[in-house]
Amino acid sequence: MNEAILIAILVTVVGAATPILLAGLGELVVEKAGVLNLGVEGMMLVGAVTGFAVTTMTGATFIGIVAAGLAGAGASMIFGFLTLTLTANQVATGLALTIFGVGLSSLIGAGFVGQTVTVLGPLFPPALAEHEHLRILFGYDPVVYFSFAMTLVVAWFLRRTRAGLILRAVGENDASAHSIGYSVIGVRYMAVAFGGAMAGIGGCYYSLFLTPMWAERLTAGRGWIALALVVFAAWKPMRLLAGAYLFGVVMTLELHAKAAGFEYVPPEFLAAMPYLATIVVLALISLRKSVGAQAPACLGKPFKPST
């Protein structure tokens, strides 16, 4: 295999990993606060269609990305209101949010099917971005660098900042956090909004950079992979980064196998690999017993303050 192909493969892996990394980071923060939002897929779709629509209307990709984040956050607030304020069941509400997101994005996107947008180019000047070798490092769009930066920011936030400490406390023991005097519901709202925004941005990466166009169910179940990724990463941001790239490799297998003329395994099987890998990973993880790898103790439990 020559260098050019290797570089091309790497570029596709980065493309596949970036959106699930973004959505996964958001969900990681949400789960660290003790909330299980299964609506990632729905929020990604809402972000994907909003980002695409706004970009085609304004012509500015940056505005489109911001709008995608806001749309994702907005969708997550529906979930937040139902589960946090009305203490509805988080699993059922999250599933409903996904179904809602699929429908809403189809509705909004109906007029945009078949349109195209100009892809935003690499962040760095052509001398670097189009360099034969250096493009491995410098040849990507700004969102890729944003996803790396956010990994570091989330890791730093959770480990080093007081706000991060409070967020983790709320996820570990909501009753204690409440009795000390922290607003459990307030912290969870903010975490859910952040998760929504990140899922929205992750979603618009498909419609603005990867495809780039809008089609129904564009994210094709990647939101579920992002969810599994959070468990796989044991709620640790740096491991999430590694996991996203591992899944990025698995997700692009089909593509590369085709390109390499590899025909021993049906392509459908390779296309199904990421989902199979998700199941295998989750099954293996359930066998894991070490304490550091355990879910936040209050994950998925509704909290009603007693006064």
Partner 1 sequence: MSDGTTRRLDLKGITKAFPGVLANDDVSFSVAPGEIHALLGENGAGKSTLVKMIYGIMQPDAGEIRFDGELVHVASPKAARAMGVGMVFQHFSLFEPMTVLENIALGLDEAISYADLEARIREVLETYQLSLDPHRTVATLSVGERQRIEIVRALLLEPRLLIMDEPTSVLTPQEVAQLFDTLRALAARGCSILYISHKLHEIVELCHSATILRGGRVVAECDPRAESSRSMAEMMIGGALKEIEKAADRSFGVERFIVGGLSLEADDAFGTSLKDISFSVRAGEIFGVAGVAGNGQNELMLALSGERPVESAGAINIDGNPVGTLNAEKRRRFGLCAVPEERNGHGAVPGFSLSDNAILTARTRKNMVRLGVIDAGVAESYTNEVIGGFAVKTTGAKAPASSLSGGNLQKFIMGREIMQAPDVLVVSQPTWGVDAGAAAAIHQELVDLAARGSAIVVISQDLDELMAISDTMAVMNEGKLSRTLAVGEASVDEIGLLMGGVHGDPDATADYAGATHAA
Q: Whole-number minimum distance, CB 149 to partner 1, in Å? A: 24
Tokens representing 84 are 């946090």
Q: Which is nearer to partner 1, 236 or 256 (CB)?
A: 236
Q: Report the chain's C-alpha Rg in angstroms.
A: 19
In eight-state DSSP terms, residue 116 is: B
Phi, psi of 61 (to 5 degrees): -60, -40
Q: Rounded distance, CA 178 to CA 123, Å? A: 44
Q: Whole-number minimum distance, CB 291 to partner 1, in Å? A: 5
> Which stretches of the chain bind partner 1, using CB under 8 A?
162, 165-166, 168-169, 172-173, 175-177, 179-182, 289-292, 294, 297, 307
Q: Whole-number minimum distance, CB 179 to partner 1, in Å? A: 5
Q: Whole-number minimum distance, CB 118 to partner 1, in Å? A: 45
Q: Provide the terminal-to-terminal Cα distance of the chain, rounded to the nearest Å.
A: 67
Tokens representing 52 are 């695409």
Q: Rounded distance, CA 109 to CA 238, Å? A: 35
Q: Whole-number minimum distance, CB 167 to partner 1, in Å? A: 11
Burial tier of 95 (Cβ tally within 10 Å: 0-12, 13-18, 19+): middle
Q: Whole-number minimum distance, CB 26 to partner 1, in Å? A: 22
- Determine how many CB atoms are found less than 10 A away from the CB of residue 293: 14
Q: Which is nearer to partner 1, 89 or 118 (CB)?
A: 89
Q: Which is nearer to partner 1, 90 or 219 (CB)?
A: 90
Q: Which is nearer to partner 1, 95 or 234 (CB)?
A: 234
Q: Rounded distance, CA 145 to CA 238, Å? A: 15
Q: Whole-number minimum distance, CB 75 to partner 1, in Å? A: 31
Q: Which is nearer to partner 1, 91 or 297 (CB)?
A: 297
Q: Which is nearer to partner 1, 68 or 169 (CB)?
A: 169
- Determine how many CB atoms are found less than 10 A away from the CB of residue 204: 36
Phi, psi of 298 (to 5 degrees): -100, 15
Q: Whole-number minimum distance, CB 232 to partner 1, in Å? A: 19
Tokens representing 64 are 């489109």
CA angle 65, 66, 69 (to 5 degrees): 90
Tokens representing 151 are 């990994």
Q: Which is nearer to partner 1, 178 or 222 (CB)?
A: 178
Q: Which is nearer to partner 1, 2 or 307 (CB)?
A: 307
